[in-house]
Structure 1
Amino acid sequence: MSYFNWWNFALCCGLVFGVTVIVFVQDNVGWGAADLILMSAMTVTIIIFYFGKPFCRYRKPQGSPLTPMLQVVAAAIAKRNLTYPSNPALLYEVPKSQKTQARLLGHTNKLRFFDKAAIIEGNETLSGDKKPNPWRLATATQVEELKLLLNLIPIWFTSLAFGTTVAQTGTFFIKQSSTMNRKIGHHFEIPPATVYSLTAIGMIVSVTIYDRIVVPTLRRVKSNERGITILQRIGFGMIFSTLSMSTAALVEKKRLSIARRENIQGGQTGPVSMSVFWLRPQFMLLGVGDAFTLVGLQEYFYDQVPDSMRSLGIALYLSVIGVGNFLSSFLITAVNLITEKAGGASWFGKDLNTSRVDNFYWLLAAINGLNICVFVFIARRYSYKNVQKNVTVADCTVANGARAEPIV
């Protein structure tokens, strides 16, 4: 439960180093010197990884993880006319004496149609070493794994609005910083990209407080091992992302008013007198949102997928950020066309001082606000993975090929 917190903590520490020290060296010493530092860092990383590799434990692959899902669908359709058993315990399950790589899952009442795949028909004999046809009879655990996979879909879709918001930190947020006063003192000026470190700092502080203070406190108060549920954590982060967009809109509106007052639009060049540290709230709020939602999504997609599909779970998490960037580009293009055809000026002019990015931020805040309502509706009806207790989890091997004891 703490792994992803500290994994992101380390990632953000590297990010702060990259957008401060490395960017400063690039601007003031040279790109060659910066690349030499990065090469040295990667060399140390590879050495550490190499010496840690023998201690890794790998789950032994057992065919395609999608095949059992298709077998459940086929079996459920074939048995669609059967009646549900009076007790879920009557559904077919792998005998506990049989060694299995996957954990056994308890029954849930959602998507009950697929339960029919585990109903034992009168002509199906399960005695001896004869195994049933997997396309006609699936285990209750396989049925529950399919349910888990289907439950991921609405959560994934409602996470895309957050991914679209995160895309602004590396685009419009940085563009804002390039048009503002970045001087510290009389001689030192920070590069525009360095402001991005505020998001990483916000995430570092939030993750530390959450893992070391919030979770232990809530664990004692609520008697819940996680403190709060994974989806509650994701939802809290979405609230902070909405606040970040609202704050960004207010700051951008103020920046535009100063730009007009200083006649930046009239032909003058150079940054406005407004300090770049006015952007600090929106960066920090989004960093806090990342600590809740981004890390929560990592934990969710790793924990709530079937055990054999955890690589797919991490891929789904990464796709939230990737698709969010595509959606951000699509939204900008659509808004640009709509505002031009409406007869007024486009929200995205030839430069930031002739644009209305503040309106775009308000649009994102509204989208996030509506998305939170949909997310809460789905999360309140979500059924978490129900793992049976005291059941063999898996046979694993360590990296050098030696056998490891089964996890129970």
Structure 2
Amino acid sequence: MAITVFKGDDMSDSETPLLNDDVVPGSVDFKCRPSVRSKSGSWKSASLLIGVEIAERFWYSGISSNLIGYLTGALGQSTAAAAANLNVWFGTATLSPIVGAFVADSFLGRYWTIIFSSLLYIMGLGFLTISASLNLSSYSDCKSAGIDAPCSPPPFQKIFFFFSLYLIAIVVGGHTPCMQSFGADQFDVEDKKECVAKSSFFNWWVMLSCSGSLLGYLIMNYIQENLSWELGFGIPCIVMCFSLIIFLLGTKTYRFPINNDERRNPFVRISRIIMRAARSCRLPFIAPISNEQEVERNLPLRCIGDNEEVNLVFRLAPIWFTSLGYAVVFAQPTTLFTKQAATVDRHISSTIQIPAATFQSFIVGSIVVFIPFYDRIFVPIARAITKKPSGISMLQRIGTGIFLSLVSIVVAALVEKKRLAVAAENGMVDMPNAIVPMSVWWLVPQYMISGIADVFTMAGLQEFFYDQVPSALKATGIALYISVLGIGNFLSSFLIFLVEKATRGNGRDGWFADNLNRAHLDYFYWLLAGISAFSFAAYVYYAKSYIYIRGLTV
């Protein structure tokens, strides 16, 4: 049986018959006509969206990676205050996708949410550029007055800076979950080839977006430290403008999932879910299985309603909670790892010194190098052994990453202990601005192990939360993954606050003293290692009992 598609709005135009196998079920093009498989979606659309993501990661990483340097320099904040402020900001940026995903899934759709959030992105970056210019004027006034210490700008400039920063954090919520879920929407899971391609999509999404981050670290950090912060914020604004243009150019190739009438009315949908959740007394977080059953088991394909949607989302909670140990460790490279790197020798020649924030590029560099190995070598070998299409299950992949994350923070603690010993041996304990005669390359292993951990955990969490929620909540699924990182940043900020209160006072230097040679970041890293170990043990316990849901439809 053929499906007839009319060209244009005039029914008198010529008709083009399409065979069923050339039409993608459940999706339409930008004119609400059935999507043609050969002309839309799959890698032709996903590749364009990945390109937009590379541009977005370029500016986001280029700014966020060095913000602690801006806060402790241009804004004159202490190390503890700057680290806490950044953790709250990162937490906001990674929790806002929950709201953005709700707006996308219930009101605007992913396409329009991406467009509106991109426009607000550009506005926020423009404001940030203006605030940097104002702060530079204040900094110059301090220097002309002979003030060598960090100079705090007037309150209005601080308020304007943080307003700009938090505007960006909020609009991240609309852009990040929608871009990735919209990219995954371009693959038809009912087609065997496209189903396999979708699994690889998450790997390549992480790798190539990290390539954008790598460029941001290498280029933007250099510009910020050697040229100006106005350029450091202004260039990302221009890049974001180009990324929006690229996204719009691909409109004709995109596939748009078909929504039914109830999904177009979010109030009906949400009210039903809330009412059923309120009166439900049996929300199965984990479905128990007997010892005779397989650990990984797929429930059959079936249609589900709103009452089961609640259960399906809530049963993900233990995996979400037990991944928080990884998320707390994930928060350290952009804050404490960077301050740690700033105290050691970073010269690669007598005249060239690498910015401390640039060493975060070893994280994304290891991701970029390891993902092709994982996708092209590790997965085929594991597939031959386990007979699973993905080689190892999503939960096994996440668990491996959580364990490697634990290893990375243990290595960081050992390296920091070594750094403190070198400072003491050279009489630099009371020299806060002195460079410890220890090569920064000592810190590279902790960055690289963190990157390899991300290959397993980040891509695994993305695929897991996208795959295990109903089709109407795919953006929400991605937001759930991002919210893990957001809560991890808030927990890190809270831990820093508690530790600072507990260890500082009565003439004592706390673990986060501004003079890092008298501080004890190593003790804090050991604390995080203990939290991560407990989280990993709890994760293994719950993951062993999880039953996968396949083929969700609503």
Q: TM-score, normalised by structure 2?
A: 0.56
5+ residue gaps, structure 1, are 79-104, 109-138, 395-408
Residue 360 of structure 2 is aligned with which of 196, 199, 215? Answer: 196
In the other structure, the counterpart of 1:166 is 330
Contact 2:509 / 2:518 at 8 angstroms: preserved in 1?
Answer: no
Distance of 2:209 and 2:500 partners within structure 1: 35
* Matches for 1:344-383 after TM superposition, within 5 Å: 345-383=509-547
Q: Secondary structure at the residue paired with 1:225?
A: coil
Distance of 1:386 and 1:26 partners within structure 2: 47
In the other structure, the counterpart of 1:339 is 503
What is the identity, as a one-letter code, of the residue corresponding to 1:9?
Answer: M
In the other structure, the counterpart of 2:206 is 8
Change (3 A) 1:239 1:268: closer
Q: Does 1:24 align with 2:218?
A: no
Contact 2:430 / 2:517 at 8 angstroms: preserved in 1?
Answer: no
Distance of 1:268 and 1:369 partners within structure 2: 33
Change (3 A) 1:203 1:70: same
State the number of aligned residues.
Answer: 334
* Matches for 1:54-203 after TM superposition, within 5 Å: 54-61=252-259, 62=263, 63-64=265-266, 65-70=269-274, 72-73=276-277, 106=300, 142=306, 144-203=308-367
What is the identity, as a one-letter code, of the residue corresponding to 2:236?
Answer: L
Distance of 1:26 and 1:225 partners within structure 2: 45
* Matches for 1:171-250 after TM superposition, within 5 Å: 171-250=335-414
What is the identity, as a one-letter code, of the residue corresponding to 1:356?
Answer: H
In the other structure, the counterpart of 1:271 is 435
What is the identity, as a one-letter code, of the residue corresponding to 1:47?
Answer: I
What is the identity, as a one-letter code, of the residue corresponding to 1:170?
Answer: T
In the other structure, the counterpart of 1:45 is 243
Distance of 2:438 and 2:463 partners within structure 1: 39
Distance of 1:76 and 1:326 partners within structure 2: 30
Q: 1:44 Cα shift?
A: 3.3
Change (3 A) 1:365 1:343: farther
Q: 1:208 Cα shift?
A: 1.8
Q: Secondary structure at the residue paired with 1:346?
A: coil
Q: Secondary structure at the residue paired with 1:309?
A: helix
Q: 1:66 Cα shift?
A: 3.8
Distance of 2:235 and 2:273 partners within structure 1: 48
Q: 1:25 Cα shift?
A: 2.6
Q: TM-score, normalised by structure 1?
A: 0.75
Q: 1:38 Cα shift?
A: 3.3
5+ residue gaps, structure 2, are 1-198, 283-298
Change (3 A) 1:342 1:233: farther
In the other structure, the counterpart of 2:155 is none
In the other structure, the counterpart of 1:303 is 467
Q: Identical aligned pairs, as a percentage?
A: 40
* Higher-helix-fraction structure: 2
Change (3 A) 1:143 1:219: farther
Change (3 A) 1:165 1:21: same
Q: Give the superposed CA RMSD.
A: 2.7
Distance of 1:376 and 1:22 partners within structure 2: 39
Contact 1:107 / 1:144 at 8 angstroms: preserved in 2?
Answer: no
- Once the two structures are superposed, residues 219-270 of structure 1 have per-residue CA deviations (whole angstroms, 9 ceiling, x without a partner) of 2222111111111111000011000000000000000011111221234732
Distance of 1:141 and 1:36 partners within structure 2: 47
Structure with the greater alpha carbon radius of gyration: 1
Q: 1:382 Cα shift?
A: 0.6
Change (3 A) 1:7 1:77: closer
Bigger mean CA deviation after superposition, 319-328 or 59-68: 59-68
In the other structure, the counterpart of 1:132 is none
Contact 2:468 / 2:550 at 8 angstroms: preserved in 1?
Answer: no
In the other structure, the counterpart of 2:549 is 385
Change (3 A) 1:343 1:226: farther
- Which has the bigger relative contact order, CA under 8 A and spacing at least 6? 1
Change (3 A) 1:260 1:380: same
Change (3 A) 1:71 1:333: closer
